[in-house]
Structure 1
């Protein structure tokens, strides 16, 4: 009996060893077919089994302990066509390298700004212009103004002593809501957002929704919403360093470190920019000349610069913590400071700006599709004079506070699905703003609050027809109640998308427009407490055509604004005249204005690594009450770009040629700003290693050396200093 048991056990052991020996492993890489780019996180799985894995940070995978035999292996990656391949697993090591092609029917990247909820770009019911990371990288911009004017014909920037002020389809910064990762950018320079605070090296992508979006975002979103989404990483350790240097002492640096450890993540960033500034003309108009005839203007030499020397830095820190699969929290804080330095022979002080902000919030998922968010944001922006020499009772380097602006808001939002074809969003927002400025604000301090509730319904009426309808109720401290509805529709027909939108906008006067008093040189600017809120009606219709290599869109729009706030020249009082004031301007409501136009955007993948794209924008912006054009607006804007992108095993080459063309800008009673034509060549060389990459960027800005040398104080289409050479480097590490 024992002998038979021994024989049986021996046979079973031999069989088990034989079975164990008949196993193999499968490993390989997953790359994109065009350019051999490693695809991180691609899925590799065996059909009809539970066997599968994902590629690592180098785009490689390994599957072990596979029984020998034939299998159908599927490989998939977002934005690429899924690939099936039959393979026979043999005993020991097996290899399968896969190349995926871009999907011809891909829906594009996910966008969120138009509805506040995620949609694939091609299926987004609200028209959204997406500026992706490849295009941001190709332009290699020195600043946000350079980036947007180099890519989108809908944007323009009016240069000023304190910075460039943004404009979208003929309407200025006051009507544009700028978001950074969904958070409102706050604090202004000369009445407009300081877009210099945005570092292009930190931008992952930009989403632009044109036209009134007050139903979802409230005040300021009359011309549109610009949502800047910054770089992030889900790798355990991520670090990136960018450096760029150019002529005129222009340097910029950006560093970022991210850590993801289980439920906790941290993201730290530091940016710094500095420049010596430059002068376009050595002459300015003598303001002391009493002759009002422009033909008799007297020019005098000046040390004033059209772009003043500056230096700034931004530090930000974000922490995220997932308590569970349902509940997560975040806290975010940032600090920004900037010095604008003026020559001592021009003025005895420069400018200093300081912004401190922090946010905190939570997200709670009630199920797979429904969730509740709550956010609190606080921002304090301060504006100083900083003396560059001893003057009266002030010493060199001393700062004198002029204005403090504060904004706090609380947002509550709940998103839930009623059924597969119907998603609902409801929410509320409370905003409180304050401004303090001794001698510049009536009573030295003013404040206002806004309380609003909103609702939005996203409906898929039939297979190819989607509708978004929303409405916002607003209660303002000074201006009572109002409603702002919005309706957008998308109809898909083969490769065509047809979109239409109607929306009402509402914008209360800012505290500065109501109460501010500011003297600049011999001009005095006054607020007006009798201003009415601005209201708008926006209509748009667009056609979009997308196939594998070609995408193009044409949009027509009309944005009518009632009671637009602008300046009027009034009689200077005797007391102000005695203080040297020659011109007094006061805010008023100018009645009806209208911005009407057409935007055209296209992109064509020629092949062999080449892509040709660009766009054209026609803008007819008028003050209909006085039957004149709006100031600072041109009629024709265009962008052209030719890109080349090619990758080998460990080396990638990118070359871009970009051009910006626009005509003269109108200014009532003053010389127009000249149109211009700027071209830029950029080359980028990237070298990859295990978990690291090193990239060198070099190029020529303003190839044909155009310079607008109008006298200091004139209106400029561009303050580009002429042909300049720049070079930069980027180092990344991820594990």
Structure 2
């Protein structure tokens, strides 16, 4: 026993001695304008995995640092990033920071366009940033509402099964959605299920439009949406956000972050539910109006649990692993259908990143996704009892990625990568052979070159090889020229997208229409060009960008002849995938953000879209020509309380369907949101949100089964409450 005590004392002495030999850095980060503490500010040593975040009192502490000189970085979204050379000695070192709010978003760091970090104003590939502050101020009930509130380029064609996202006229199949750089997989009726993304979990969103980056695969002809989620570096962070609105609509987010030495763990549980609503008590049945209980927004309930564990093995090596589970039930009245819908999604991810020096690194990532879609019966039917489920399809994905970044010089950065994507779908009733698969392998190389002091170039090519459709090279090039307060950007990109498993083999019936795959489809190819100019000073940021996206062999549906026996089976129409020989989306995007003074900010944008099937000169379905956003914000802070108010307007004209014969209505919806933040409550921060959605009570009361412009139920009051604890 004495030996045990002796060894324990030696260990304690050795630990104390080791700590005595190391340095401790601590301090406080505050806002310059009002001396408020800044919770959640990142404090880290550049080129290492060592860092922390300030607690709810603005305090930070980094222990067990070897004495020496370091580049210390302090950053917080919406504030000017600070970098300072510090010399740390043994024992305690105290260093305080005062942060100044950025005059614009252009000082924010973005990574999606090139895979390397750039300030927004110097990113060679044009990137649209949706900031943490903009996200929080909208009080959005879902991801769709969030994106339409902050960007005129986005639209969502609503339906009872989910909304189809478009960017500048091109739809869901051409848009790659990422969460923390990893693709979102699984769709319902061809629409990516975005209900899995809770706005309260989002730190920021980076958007690339068109085939502007070669880092991503064939899905990215229309653009890339990279959702970066919140992950606190505070030692302990607990947070709950609850929002309520009409029709028993409740959304809740619960988060736990633990940062204990070399280990970090993030856990999140989300739940959303609603009783749904009708927009019209009538539906269209054989060109007649009949009464119905069908809802434009079905009653639903969903929940998501996700967690991830990160281990910083050394100052250079970081490894991670995580998984998530999502489940959603969508209910329909018995008079409408014999079943509702049930969805599940399971994911797993793992990877590692090794820092070769301050700028160079190697990363390896893997993620697996399995998305399943069921009918859940609400009554006895055939061999099914109430509550039974039958599976419609089972979608599975494996994705391996490798990336190497090498700073060849101060003016030249090389990125080399590989990407392997394997997909499989199982559906006994909807696939010809009950099962189908596809895989794609890609290699890419990209160089970022500073040609002149004012001129930067990003160029490279991606080699894609598909299991069924051969190979292709997809070159990309972007130029940035800086002239005082102006930035000029130009981009050219070539895209290649093979038909999906669904487009080739899948068949299903909906409301009397039989939708069919086509094994004779050709790959889709695109040529994207854009040219833009951006102006920025301390008070105004404005940009205008023109683009052309030519897509050959775009895959769409066309009506085909009925076959014998269709009438007896309730089939009234047949639609089959086919290749549109030539199509084009072209237009102009305008964005503006102006600081008016006295706490007021005016922002917004306008998007003109001309999307056509060039072989028939008809507009593409589900696309409007004019979209607009307007935002007026007011901010005021005191020592312990801050206030924010926003008026947001979304305006768009009617959307074309069936060559302008069955259009969705134009609309404009305005929303008022107020945010209240209470600080200096010890380790707690409390936030409240109150607002009115659809102030002028605009409702699209078209009969059920019509093409809707919006599913808004009309004027709605909403409230939210957040409580956060951090140490």
Task: Report the Cα offset of residue 366 of structure 1.
Answer: 2.3
Structure 2 Cα separation of the partners of residues 393 and 42 of structure 1: 58
What is the SS of the residue equivalent to 2:654? coil
Preserved contact between residue 596 and residue 602 of structure 2 (Cα < 8 Å)? yes
Q: How does 1:282-361 map to 2 (within 5 A)?
A: 282-287=281-286, 297-361=287-351
Preserved contact between residue 214 and residue 472 of structure 1 (Cα < 8 Å)? no
What is the SS of the residue equivalent to 1:350? strand
Structure 1 Cα separation of the partners of residues 186 and 42 of structure 2: 45
Structure 1 Cα separation of the partners of residues 421 and 60 of structure 2: 50
For residue 410 of structure 1, the aligned residue among 400, 404, 418 is 400
Q: Does 1:693 align with 2:694?
A: no
For residue 467 of structure 1, the aligned residue among 437, 447, 457 is 457
Task: Report the Cα offset of residue 607 of structure 1.
Answer: 1.3
For residue 550 of structure 2, the aligned residue among 546, 551, 560 is 560
What is the SS of the residue equivalent to 1:220? helix
Aligned to 1:580: 570
Task: Report the Cα offset of residue 218 of structure 1.
Answer: 1.1
Aligned to 2:10: none
Task: Report the Cα offset of residue 676 of structure 1.
Answer: 0.2
Residues 77, 427 of structure 1: CA spacing in aligned structure 2 closer, same or farther, 3 A cutoff?
closer
For residue 512 of structure 1, the aligned residue among 496, 502, 509 is 502
What is the SS of the residue equivalent to 1:532? coil
Work out the number of aligned pairs and report it. 671
Preserved contact between residue 36 and residue 647 of structure 1 (Cα < 8 Å)? no
Q: Does 1:678 align with 2:675?
A: no
For residue 439 of structure 2, the aligned residue among 425, 437, 449 is 449
Q: Does 1:376 align with 2:376?
A: no
Preserved contact between residue 643 and residue 654 of structure 1 (Cα < 8 Å)? yes
Structure 2 Cα separation of the partners of residues 560 and 108 of structure 1: 33
Preserved contact between residue 242 and residue 729 of structure 1 (Cα < 8 Å)? yes
Structure 2 Cα separation of the partners of residues 60 and 481 of structure 1: 54
Preserved contact between residue 40 and residue 234 of structure 2 (Cα < 8 Å)? no
Q: How does 1:716-727 map to 2 (within 5 A)?
A: 716-727=708-719
Larger mean Cα displacement after TM superposition, 388-397 or 561-570: 388-397
Cα displacement string for residues 640-699 of structure 1 (whole angstroms, at most 9, x for unaligned residues):
011111111111111111000000001115321000010000111111122210111111
Aligned to 2:193: 194
Task: Report the Cα offset of residue 525 of structure 1.
Answer: 0.5
Preserved contact between residue 214 and residue 484 of structure 1 (Cα < 8 Å)? no
Preserved contact between residue 36 and residue 648 of structure 1 (Cα < 8 Å)? no
Structure 1 Cα separation of the partners of residues 357 and 563 of structure 2: 65
Structure 2 Cα separation of the partners of residues 550 and 608 of structure 1: 15
Cα displacement string for residues 256-296 of structure 1 (whole angstroms, at most 9, x for unaligned residues):
00000111110000001000000000011123xxxxxxxxx
Task: Report the Cα offset of residue 573 of structure 1.
Answer: 1.0
Residues 300, 213 of structure 1: CA spacing in aligned structure 2 closer, same or farther, 3 A cutoff?
same
Preserved contact between residue 125 and residue 212 of structure 2 (Cα < 8 Å)? no
Aligned to 1:152: 151
Aligned to 1:162: 161
Preserved contact between residue 214 and residue 505 of structure 1 (Cα < 8 Å)? no
Structure 2 Cα separation of the partners of residues 270 and 284 of structure 1: 37
Preserved contact between residue 214 and residue 506 of structure 1 (Cα < 8 Å)? no
Larger radius of gyration, structure 1 or 2? Answer: 1
Q: Does 1:608 align with 2:603?
A: no
Structure 2 Cα separation of the partners of residues 212 and 242 of structure 1: 36
Aligned to 1:388: 378
Structure 1 Cα separation of the partners of residues 83 and 198 of structure 2: 39
Q: Does 1:491 align with 2:481?
A: yes
What is the SS of the residue equivalent to 2:451? strand
For residue 530 of structure 1, the aligned residue among 520, 523, 532 is 520
Residues 694, 507 of structure 1: CA spacing in aligned structure 2 closer, same or farther, 3 A cutoff?
same
Cα displacement string for residues 502-535 of structure 1 (whole angstroms, at most 9, x for unaligned residues):
0001111000000011111211000000000000
Aligned to 1:279: 278
Preserved contact between residue 243 and residue 728 of structure 1 (Cα < 8 Å)? yes
Residues 110, 29 of structure 1: CA spacing in aligned structure 2 closer, same or farther, 3 A cutoff?
closer
Residues 99, 366 of structure 1: CA spacing in aligned structure 2 closer, same or farther, 3 A cutoff?
closer
Preserved contact between residue 649 and residue 669 of structure 2 (Cα < 8 Å)? yes
Residues 99, 83 of structure 1: CA spacing in aligned structure 2 closer, same or farther, 3 A cutoff?
farther
Larger mean Cα displacement after TM superposition, 624-633 or 683-692: 683-692
Structure 1 Cα separation of the partners of residues 284 and 41 of structure 2: 63
Structure 1 Cα separation of the partners of residues 158 and 99 of structure 2: 46
Cα displacement string for residues 136-171 of structure 1 (whole angstroms, at most 9, x for unaligned residues):
011110001111111100001100111222111011
Preserved contact between residue 526 and residue 549 of structure 2 (Cα < 8 Å)? yes
Aligned to 2:47: none
Preserved contact between residue 213 and residue 505 of structure 1 (Cα < 8 Å)? no
Cα displacement string for residues 365-419 of structure 1 (whole angstroms, at most 9, x for unaligned residues):
2223221111111111100000011112111110101100111011111111111
Task: Report the Cα offset of residue 77 of structure 1.
Answer: 6.7
Q: Does 1:427 align with 2:427?
A: no
What is the SS of the residue equivalent to 1:462? coil
Residues 40, 404 of structure 1: CA spacing in aligned structure 2 closer, same or farther, 3 A cutoff?
closer
Cα displacement string for residues 613-655 of structure 1 (whole angstroms, at most 9, x for unaligned residues):
1000000000101110011100000000111111111111111
Task: Report the Cα offset of residue 474 of structure 1.
Answer: 0.7
What is the SS of the residue equivalent to 2:519? coil
Structure 1 Cα separation of the partners of residues 34 and 536 of structure 2: 22
Cα displacement string for residues 573-621 of structure 1 (whole angstroms, at most 9, x for unaligned residues):
1033331211000000011110000000001111111111100000000
Task: Report the Cα offset of residue 561 of structure 1.
Answer: 0.2
Aligned to 2:21: none
Aligned to 2:124: 125
Aligned to 2:108: 109
Larger mean Cα displacement after TM superposition, 572-581 or 497-506: 572-581
Question: So what's the TM-score if we normalise by structure 1?
Answer: 0.88
Structure 2 Cα separation of the partners of residues 100 and 516 of structure 1: 55
Residues 35, 518 of structure 1: CA spacing in aligned structure 2 closer, same or farther, 3 A cutoff?
farther
What is the SS of the residue equivalent to 1:393? coil
Task: Report the Cα offset of residue 37 of structure 1.
Answer: 3.4
Structure 1 Cα separation of the partners of residues 490 and 104 of structure 2: 23
Aligned to 1:267: 266
Preserved contact between residue 137 and residue 644 of structure 2 (Cα < 8 Å)? yes
Cα displacement string for residues 187-212 of structure 1 (whole angstroms, at most 9, x for unaligned residues):
00111101111100101110001011
Q: Does 1:592 align with 2:592?
A: no
Residues 459, 731 of structure 1: CA spacing in aligned structure 2 closer, same or farther, 3 A cutoff?
same
Residues 555, 54 of structure 1: CA spacing in aligned structure 2 closer, same or farther, 3 A cutoff?
closer
Task: Report the Cα offset of residue 101 of structure 1.
Answer: 3.9
Residues 438, 100 of structure 1: CA spacing in aligned structure 2 closer, same or farther, 3 A cutoff?
closer
Residues 273, 600 of structure 1: CA spacing in aligned structure 2 closer, same or farther, 3 A cutoff?
same
What is the SS of the residue equivalent to 1:146? helix
Aligned to 2:178: 179
Structure 2 Cα separation of the partners of residues 563 and 386 of structure 1: 37
Aligned to 2:66: none
What is the SS of the residue equivalent to 1:598? strand
Structure 2 Cα separation of the partners of residues 43 and 521 of structure 1: 53
Preserved contact between residue 264 and residue 321 of structure 1 (Cα < 8 Å)? yes
Structure 1 Cα separation of the partners of residues 40 and 274 of structure 2: 41
Structure 2 Cα separation of the partners of residues 135 and 405 of structure 1: 34
Aligned to 2:19: none
Residues 161, 60 of structure 1: CA spacing in aligned structure 2 closer, same or farther, 3 A cutoff?
closer
